[in-house]
Amino acid sequence: MRHILATCALALIFPACAARAPGPPASRTAIERPDARDQLQRDLRSMFDAAEVDHVQWGVNFHSLRDAETLYSLDAFRFMVPASNQKLLTTAVAAARLGWNYRFTTRVLATGPIAQDGAVHGDLVIIGNGDPTINPRHPQRWRAFDAWAAALKARGITAIHGNLVGDDNAFDEPGWGVGWAWDNLQYGYGAPPSALQFNENQVEVLITPGIAPGTPAIITTSPLGSGLVIDPAVTTAAPGGEVLIDIARVPGTPVLKVRGQIAMDGRPTTLTASVPNPTRFYLTVVRDALARHGIAVSGSVMDIDDLTTPLMMDGATELLVDWSAPLSEMVDVTMKWSRNIYAETLLLALAPPGEPATGTRGLEPVRDTLRAWGILADSYMLLDGSCLSRYVYLTDYALTTLLINFF
């Protein structure tokens, strides 16, 4: 990550000074000569003052990392919506406070005795604290649940005579950031973080043309077990027709409306949709993995919030502990794939312990760290970790100061 941020700094705020390698000590390079620097500033002013872009708001800050000098600045203290540049702040603070080797942990416990035949006479409880890495972006983690089932089988577990319970209380719910738009929440990029996460709390919705114009399109979701109920209304249009498809879901409900049309000769279209209850989705996939390894669960999959009586954890037996991929790998995915749910999860991981984590509490150490790095409090306005909120603002000054600190 240090290399990534240094590269960003060189590319974004110091491109001109990288134009030529330093010359012999007795002479100064062209970029160091006053006339070259003046020419750079004239060129930049000409670019940003051009009539073709007079409707554009610019925030620009060219800073020499070598000389610790600002070469050119234009409205560097103007608030701008940073979009996914906000993830730079979140991941940088996470690296500084948690460390590059930080890993989330997930514990699997049995609440009842284990009989000689390997049957657990009680519930199997999974306690999570936010691991976002059980998804195909981490190939070694994608089959984690099968690895768990194999480990339990090797330990002699043969059946669960109770429920499969997910304890997701490490994070507050529903997990949406402050200022998130309601019409973003049905999409995969709007999936909120949760203490138990599988496949980034989203599924793919595949829409395939029907057999003839006017017939319904074929709609499927993957992986299975999402809890979504598809309300289909996509028709097959004539060959050459437009592909116009969208999805909608009222927050807190499972019904996903899929509307629009797809050309009969068109390629299948894929959208991503958030799941209504990440914990139940997670548990359903775990139960399927257990079944593949011959471990049957006689009870139901239960979100801990849906239990009518408290779990009896006194004397529970810890069967296994699972570790996520390290923070260094999570940051790589967060930045290269611009994954909102990773940034939001890291923000929650920064929250002080003792209460369910919230984004508001996670922002407290973020502000403390930015202050320690010399970033003025009035140069940013933070409400979430990914800038899915449209009320997040940064200045170029704040962003360049962050990059300079990490160079």
- Tell me the pLDDT tens digit for each residue of 110-168: 999 999 999 999 999 999 999 999 999 999 999 999 999 999 999 999 999 999 999 99
Torsion sign, CA atoms 60, 64, 69, 72: negative
C-alpha–C-alpha distance, residues 359 and 341, integer Å: 12
In CATH, what number is assigned to the domain containing residue 299?
3.50.80.20
Same domain for 82 and 216: no
DSSP string, 99-119: -TT---EEEEEESS-B-TTSE
For residues 87 and 340, give the distance between their C-alpha atoms in angstroms, rounded to a whole number: 8
Q: Examine the domain organization and report whether 11 and 25 are in the same domain.
A: yes
Q: Specify the pTM.
A: 0.90
Is 349 found in the same domain as 284? no
Distance from C-alpha of 371 to C-alpha of 213, rounded to nearest angstrom: 61
Co-location of 12 and 61 in the same domain: yes
Is 151 part of any domain? Answer: yes
167 found inside a domain: yes
Answer with the residue of higher pLDDT: 61 or 25: 61
In a domain? residue 188: no
Residue 183 included in any domain: no
**What total number of domains does the chain contain?**
3
281 membership: H or E segment, kind and range? helix 278-292
> What is residue 36's predicted lDDT score, i.e. its pLDDT?
82
186 falls within a domain: no
Domain boundary pick from 274, 296, 312? 274
Do 91 and 331 meet the contact criterion of CB atoms below 8 Å apart? yes
Q: In terms of domains, do 349 and 392 share one?
A: yes
245 and 117 in a common domain: no
**Pure H helices in 302-358:** 327-336, 340-349
In sequence order, which residues have a C-beta less than 8 Å from that of residue 368 and are 6 or more positions away? Answer: none
Q: Is residue 41, in this structure, part of any structural domain at all?
A: yes
265 contacts 240 by C-beta, under 8 angstroms = yes
Could you report the per-residue pLDDT of 211-225, keeping only the tens digit for each? 999 999 999 999 999
Q: For residue 316, what are the domain limits?
A: 105-175+277-326
User: 204 and 352: one domain?
Assistant: no
Is 232 within the bounds of a domain?
yes
- Asked if 95 and 369 count as a contact pair (C-beta separation under 8 A), the reply is no
In a domain, 387, yes or no: yes
Q: CB-based contacts of 298: which residues, under 8 Å, 6+ apart?
A: 159, 160, 161, 162
